[in-house]
Amino acid sequence: MTVKRIKQNNLDNQIANHPLQSKEWGEFRKKWGNEVLETKFGLLTLHKIPPTKYKAGMFIKGPAPTQKMLDDLKKIAKEKNLIFIKLEPNIAFGDSSMKYVATSKEKTKLIRLLKQNGCVEGKTLFTPTSFWIDLTKSEGELMKSFFAKTRYNIRLAQKRGVTVSEDNSNKAFEKYIELTRETVKRQGFYAHTEKYHRLMWKYLHHEPRTMNHEPIAHLLTAKYNYTIITTWILFTWKDFLYYPYGASSEKYYKNVMANNLMMWEAIRYGRNLKLKTFDLWGREPGKGFTHFKEGYNPEVIEFLGTWDIVTSPLYHPYRMAETVRWKFLRLKSKFVKPRF
């Protein structure tokens, strides 16, 4: 698969170290209905807490917290009547030799700063750990590092005639929507709605192209017998490739191992774009798809975690109500099938 990058993202995005901090993501969230504030540290989205007059702030995948940043966010919380602001900094830690990985000493220092400012550990949005693949390694090195079963499945998909390519056409995106609906129904999990996915694609793929900027979102498709059976949306941002969304057909994918080849071709896609790191967008030990990702021998990366800047005495009653709400939703999911 031959690919090349076009013009780098605009100057407004220079401080954004993650696609969820990009100007395009901010425009998407505005259209979705959120109030979006552009602070000197990054994007802060505001979310209504029904049926109250209060809101919560979400500062997701931003930079490492500083005293100045926390002070400014507290001021915004007071002005905007926020119960709390949730922080999930895009700061990775570990013993890795890969770029962008900080030390455990730095993590301890940041956590101390958060606690000194009244922050408490909050309910997570993103998993506290993720998988990273080093795209600076050669294809041979990477393939050799995979589990034997994973290498076998990649070869099996190739032998059975599965092909993978980038296809950003309207027809391919409609197939992505169709397969996402099928996947949600089959696996019974709650996903973002069809409207959400369509808006995301508009603002992260189509809108940048109209301004001659590099799109953030790209669609990869796997075909078998000329039929698209697997679709993945990938994000490219600076030196990183991300895998946030995927969907597949149950009819074929287990037999022809299309997902295995898709992951390998996604890795090759990132390398062809001269990207450095592939973030597999989350890790949940014990889950089937996490086991699938482990076959590619990625490195486990730990983030700073989820921290809430508490700015109102209503925070703790809110957390209690949220706990009850999530218990109800989990119970409901046993009897009511999720809808896409």
pLDDT recorded at residue 25: 97
Give 66's contacts (C-beta < 8 A, 6+ positions apart): 113
Domains of the chain: 11-128+303-333 (3.40.630.30), 131-302 (3.40.630.30)
Q: Which of 21, 15, 4 shows the shortest CA–CA distance to 204?
A: 21
pLDDT recorded at residue 53: 87
pLDDT recorded at residue 104: 82
Type of residue at 157: A
Alpha helices in the chain (DSSP H): 23-32, 67-79, 104-116, 139-145, 148-159, 170-187, 194-201, 207-210, 253-256, 258-272, 288-294, 315-333
Read off the pLDDT of residues 148-186 as tens digits, 9 standing for 90 and up.
999 999 999 999 999 999 999 999 999 999 999 988 877
Site of tokens 């032998």:
159
Read off the pLDDT of residues 16-62 as tens digits, 9 standing for 90 and up.
999 999 999 999 999 999 999 999 999 999 999 888 889 999 999 99
Give pTM, 2 decimals: 0.91
Spans of the chain below 50 pLDDT: 5-11
